[in-house]
């Protein structure tokens, strides 16, 4: 038999408000005492701009010196690519001049096509050599800078502890998220000076493999 929901609800309400139920109902428990507030440790946040590390005048001297040495190692390739680019430009100008000549002059189509083919070969050679040089340069730079950045990482930890810094953020990575910051929070110059005093630029660079 189906029970009328309104009747059932009224019955429950009546029972709940009866004196008998009120007498036998267990006493309400008092609210538990508030938990003691946890102690929040003091936090010192600082910012550092890692992009400044490679600044030629005010950066980390080991990085600056290493980059210059790698650039010197690749100077021959750089010169070769520049000469190749000059040849491409010279041939391009020659072709443009021939194509712009009036019809009355007459154009040797075979000679023109030979120049166009040579230009295509030079461009492909230049692209290939530039890609190879860039890949080799990136690999060499990574080999040279990896141990330096390893020392930088360790020094950052030591520097942070010595300065009582509990959170050090790279401003170059989160610049859009920084709405306001006091100058005192930027420790870039202080860290660079500290690192340069401990790691001079005369440190040896690994030879090319």
Question: With 70 as the cut, is the pLDDT of residue 30 above it?
Answer: no
pTM above the 0.75 mark? no
Domains and CATH numbers, the chain: 42-101+108-198 (3.30.910.20)
Question: With 80 as the cut, is the pLDDT of residue 129 above it?
Answer: yes
How many Cβ atoms sit within 10 Å of the Cβ of residue 188? 21
Q: Write down the mean pLDDT value for the chain.
A: 82
Span 74-126, pLDDT tens digits: 999 999 999 999 999 999 999 998 888 776 666 778 888 999 999 999 999 99
Mean pLDDT of 121-150: 96
Q: What is the pLDDT of residue 146?
A: 96
Instruction: Identify whether the C-beta of residue 183 lies closer than 8 Å to the C-beta of residue 45.
Output: no
Span 159-189, pLDDT tens digits: 999 999 999 999 999 888 887 888 889 999 9
Mean pLDDT of 64-74: 96
- For helices 109-162 and 188-198, what crossing angle results, to 10°? 90
Question: With 80 as the cut, is the pLDDT of residue 6 above it?
Answer: no
Q: What is the pLDDT of residue 102?
A: 75
Q: What is the pLDDT of residue 112?
A: 87
């Amino acid at each position: 038999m189906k029970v009328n929901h309104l009747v059932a609800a009224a019955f429950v309400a009546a029972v709940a408000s009866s004196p008998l139920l009120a007498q036998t109902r267990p006493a309400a428990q008092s609210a538990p005492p508030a938990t003691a507030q946890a102690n929040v440790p003091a936090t010192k946040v600082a910012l550092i701009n890692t992009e400044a590390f490679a600044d030629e005048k005010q950066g980390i001297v080991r990085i600056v010196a290493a980059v210059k040495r790698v650039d010197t190692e690749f100077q021959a390739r750089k010169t070769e690519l520049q000469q190749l680019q000059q040849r491409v430009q010279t041939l391009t100008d020659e072709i443009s001049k021939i194509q712009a000549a009036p019809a009355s002059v007459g154009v040797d189509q075979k000679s023109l096509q030979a120049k166009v083919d040579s230009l295509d070969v030079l461009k492909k050679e230049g692209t290939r050599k530039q890609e190879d040089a860039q890949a080799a340069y990136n690999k060499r730079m990574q080999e040279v800078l990896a141990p330096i950045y390893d020392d930088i990482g360790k020094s950052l930890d030591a520097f942070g502890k010595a300065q009582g810094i509990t959170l050090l953020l790279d401003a170059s990575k989160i610049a859009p998220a920084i709405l306001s910051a006091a100058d005192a929070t930027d420790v870039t110059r202080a860290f660079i000076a500290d690192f340069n005093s401990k790691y001079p630029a005369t440190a040896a660079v690994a030879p090319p493999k």
